[in-house]
Structure 1
Amino acid sequence: MHKLKTVTFIVLACISVSFLQAQEAKNLLNEVSTKAKSYDNIKIDFKYNLNNTKENVSQDTRGDVTISGEKYVLNMLGTTSMFDGTKIYTIVPEDEEVTISNYNPKNDKQITPSKMLTFYENGYRYKMDVTQNVKGRKIQFVKLIPIDSNAEIKDILLGIDVQTKHIYKLIQTDANGTTYTLTVNSFKTDQPLSKTLFSFDESKYESDGYYINRLD
């Protein structure tokens, strides 16, 4: 009986600690989300790495993204992706091609640029992970595990600057072992933006000889 009580106490203690860590992680993520939504716009310069040790693949690149509400302009791998709130435009100068598609939020399961700072609000369980010191900045990692057991994502580690409540690093591991790491080099907010930044001028690209590919 004494052993049973001891085991019961240990189990309850573990559950209690787990719950407190989950609540602490959720509170921190809520602070990050609230802070991100308080800005008119955000511009992020980042480093991106794709790594799959099984396939012996490792790719590094840099990019930048400007976000205002749901709208965004993402520059990466020589391609520009733009979302004006209704349509997604993918501009590939190398191929002189623009692909235009309608945005359907019901079919969108990806972490798009506009959701990068708030995607974790639904569909994940949370727990606190390691803390790192990066050039004098305290980075607290939170581990996100999809509630859907059939999700393609195994888990996500989100590194948060404890002082600024800005995301510093995102490490996504897929079920096949591929790891995607996004590290923020600079995080600027409320910048003066051109009124036409999120507007696509189709006539400009047509006059430049681009092929316009409409998917919808």
Structure 2
Amino acid sequence: MNKIIHKMKKIFSVFALLIFSFSIQAQDKKAKDLLDQVTTKIKTYNNIVIDFKYTLNNSKENINQESKGNVMMKDNLYVLNLMGVTKLFDGKKTYTINPEDEEISISKFNEKDDNAITPSKMLTFFNSGYKFSWDILQDVKGRKIQYIKLTPTSPKDQRKEILLGIDNQTKNIYNLIEIGKNGTKTTLTVNSFKTNQPLSKNQFTFEPSKYPKYYINKLD
């Protein structure tokens, strides 16, 4: 259970970077101009619903994993479904729902925790700590995908670089490729990007009546 929660936190951190890391001070003007366009567009959405594919590869360790997921976001609220586990944040608490174990872990959100990853923090989370540069342009099934390279400035960062792929026509994100110093390559590809969807008023509300037999694990 803890391993799944840890992996979901890491994946959501990467996913959140994919969607919201566009207000950084860019050292490359072209990169900044493009990211500013993406940022401006994202801020106009009332909500975002994304289906995505997540892959993790490390040839040295013989690791090759692939999974699909989806996430719904509105302001700082979200519901993430990945690897059979649902993670819901209602603005105050995070609920990790594991049907296989019939267990729900509940934790409070600490605004002072710098490691806490929520969509609302993503607009400013990467304002420092990265260098920007204009990278390659690729043709992906007729779509022109422009890549921006983010290089961590801290020598303690275990990531060598991050490549952010942006659709030149729609100014939406196509994918994110994270390359670790240990050779691990993590790729998150957006399969479907929808906005301003008709969501239920209780979409981001935890309803315990749906899980009568689940064990409730309050972490704090």
- Tell me the TM-score normalised to structure 1 length: 0.83
1:71 to 77, 91, 109: 77
Classify the secondary structure of the residue corresponding to 1:107.
Answer: coil
What does 1:120-131 align with in structure 2 at a 5 Å threshold?
Answer: 120-131=126-137
The number of equivalent residue pairs is 195
**Residue 214 of structure 2 corresponds to which residue in structure 1?**
210
- Residue 104 of structure 1 and its aligned partner are, at CA, apart by 2.3
1:37 to 14, 23, 43: 43
**Residue 144 of structure 2 corresponds to which residue in structure 1?**
138
Native 8 Å contact 1:125 1:146 kept in 2: yes
2:205 to 191, 195, 199: 199
Residues 117-153 of structure 1 show CA distances to partners (whole Å, capped at 9, x for unaligned) of 8754443210011110112111000001122221232
Overall identity of the aligned pairs, in % = 58
Native 8 Å contact 2:48 2:196 kept in 1: yes
Taking the aligned partners of 1:120 and 1:203, their CA distance within structure 2 comes to 39
Native 8 Å contact 1:65 1:113 kept in 2: no
Structure 1: gaps (5+ residues): 1-19
Classify the secondary structure of the residue corresponding to 1:34.
Answer: helix
Q: CA RMSD in A?
A: 2.1
**Residue 93 of structure 2 corresponds to which residue in structure 1?**
87
Taking the aligned partners of 1:27 and 1:67, their CA distance within structure 2 comes to 25
Residue identity matched to 1:212: I
Native 8 Å contact 1:82 1:89 kept in 2: yes
Taking the aligned partners of 2:37 and 2:58, their CA distance within structure 1 comes to 33
- Tell me the TM-score normalised to structure 2 length: 0.81
Bigger radius of gyration among the two? 1
Residue identity matched to 1:77: M
Taking the aligned partners of 1:58 and 1:106, their CA distance within structure 2 comes to 36
Taking the aligned partners of 2:53 and 2:165, their CA distance within structure 1 comes to 14
Range with bigger deviation, 40-49 or 26-35: 26-35
- Residue 203 of structure 1 and its aligned partner are, at CA, apart by 3.7
Taking the aligned partners of 1:47 and 1:116, their CA distance within structure 2 comes to 21
Residue identity matched to 1:157: L
Call closer, same or farther: CA 1:153–1:86 in 2, change over 3 Å: farther
**Residue 107 of structure 1 corresponds to which residue in structure 2?**
113
What does 1:15-54 align with in structure 2 at a 5 Å threshold?
Answer: 22-54=28-60
Taking the aligned partners of 1:68 and 1:123, their CA distance within structure 2 comes to 26
Taking the aligned partners of 1:162 and 1:212, their CA distance within structure 2 comes to 46
Residue identity matched to 1:69: D
Native 8 Å contact 2:105 2:218 kept in 1: yes
- Residue 110 of structure 1 and its aligned partner are, at CA, apart by 6.8
Native 8 Å contact 1:123 1:147 kept in 2: yes
